[in-house]
Amino acid sequence: MDLAGNGWIWLTPSNLHSVSEPETTSRVLYYGRRKGKPLTTARQGVADRLLPQLKIDAPPAGGVLDPRTLFSNSVTETWLEVGFGGGEHLAGHAEHNPNVGIIGAEVFINGVASLTRHIEQKSLKNVRIFNDDVRFLLPALPDQCLSRVFVMFPDPWPKARHAKRRFVGPENLNTLARLMRDGTELRVASDHPVYIHWALEQLTQHPAFQWQVDGPEDWLTPPPDHVTTRYQLKAQKEGRTSHFLRFFRKSR
């Protein structure tokens, strides 16, 4: 639910406000929370200090943003995480892959603040943050600029009437297919059976992606480089099984 209590909010690149009007092609309908509990003074201070240096501004309509220009140090490739939650997963990959520039997109302010804390603690130089709906950023990125994309434990929106709210769907997959280099990985993880079945259906039917599996161990075992988060450990404690779907961009 959003702060107005109606469960959804309209987003534009320049503002965020609750309204009750029909969807138009000039706006993106975003479902979910923008802000949670008030930030502590210390966490707010870290976010205020670091976010101006790390933030990616929404490009103007028709603009192009080369990811290679975002990072001060030399990076060999660019990864994207869509909805990074508390930032543990993204920060872990950034720490283990210093030559990779990682863009994290997240609208939840508390999650953004959490990531800035991880960045400061680990002295990370290869992370940039788009603290808005990723659908404002993707159109501005050039073809074949991404070498990996993560969609880790997204909100499952389990009711059938909410299926259109899920990120993994035809329109977004078409965009990712344009942005990803041949042979690169789209990794989707979830502990919710509805989302797992949905993602499998969407991805196996999409002509640009291929699922390379031999058996259940391929989707029940975390990838060798997986970074475990508190959310995942909580799910395991509550008896929910995490699935890891690894699809690869087919050659053009």
74 Cβ neighbours under 8 A, 6+ residues apart: 99
Sorted by sequence, the CB contacts under 8 Å of residue 131 that are 6+ apart come out as: 51, 55, 105, 106, 107, 109, 112
SS3 63: coil
Across the beta sheet with 15-17, the strand order is 15-17, 8-12, 28-31
| Same-domain status, 182 and 72 | yes
Question: Is 182 an annotated catalytic residue?
Answer: no
Q: Are residues 123 and 209 in the same domain?
A: yes
Q: Does residue 214 sit in the same domain as residue 101? A: yes
Element (H, E) at 61: none
Average of per-residue pLDDT across 134-163 = 92
In which domain, by residue range, is 145 found?
Answer: 34-249
17 and 107 in a single domain? The answer is: no
What residues pair up with 127 in beta bridges, in sequence order? 102
Range name among 6-20, 133-147, 158-172 with the lowest pLDDT average: 6-20
Question: Of the listed 2, 48, 57, 155, which one is catalytic?
Answer: 155
CB 213 within 8 A of CB 243: no
Total structural domains within the chain: 2
3-class secondary-structure state, position 228: coil
- Which amino acid appears at position 7 of this protein? G
Distances (CA, A) of 29 to 9, 16, 124, 153, 189: 7, 11, 33, 20, 23
28 and 120, same domain (yes or no): no
> Residue 233 corresponds to which tokens in the numbers above?
């450990």
More confident residue, 172 or 5: 172
Q: Return the CA Rg of the chain.
A: 18
Q: How far apart are the first and last CA of the chain?
A: 41
* CA distance to 5, 10, 208, per residue, from 20 (Å): 12, 9, 37
Position 32 confidence tier, pLDDT thresholds 50, 70, 90: low
Do 75 and 120 lie in a common domain?
A: yes
Whether 22 and 123 map to the same domain: the answer is no
CATH of the domain at 45: 3.40.50.150
Same-domain status, 11 and 27? yes
Q: Are residues 207 and 101 in the same domain?
A: yes
Classified as helix, coil or strand, 235 is helix
pLDDT attached to residue 28: 55
pLDDT tens for residues 194-232? 999 999 999 999 999 999 899 999 999 999 999 999 889
pLDDT of residue 37: 67
pTM to 2 decimals?
A: 0.84
Please report which residue ranges of the chain form alpha helices under DSSP H. 41-54, 88-96, 109-122, 170-179, 193-205, 217-220, 230-237
For residues 39 and 163, membership in a common domain is answered with yes
What is the chain's mean pLDDT, rounded?
A: 85
pLDDT category at 42 given cuts 50, 70, 90 is confident
* Statement to judge: residues 29 and 114 lie in one domain: no
**Residue 204 confidence (pLDDT):** 97
Please give the pLDDT value at position 17. 29
Residues ≥6 apart with Cβ < 8 Å to 205 = none
3-state secondary structure of 180: strand
Q: Give the pLDDT score at 39.
A: 73
Q: Is there a single domain that holds both residue 67 and residue 14?
A: no
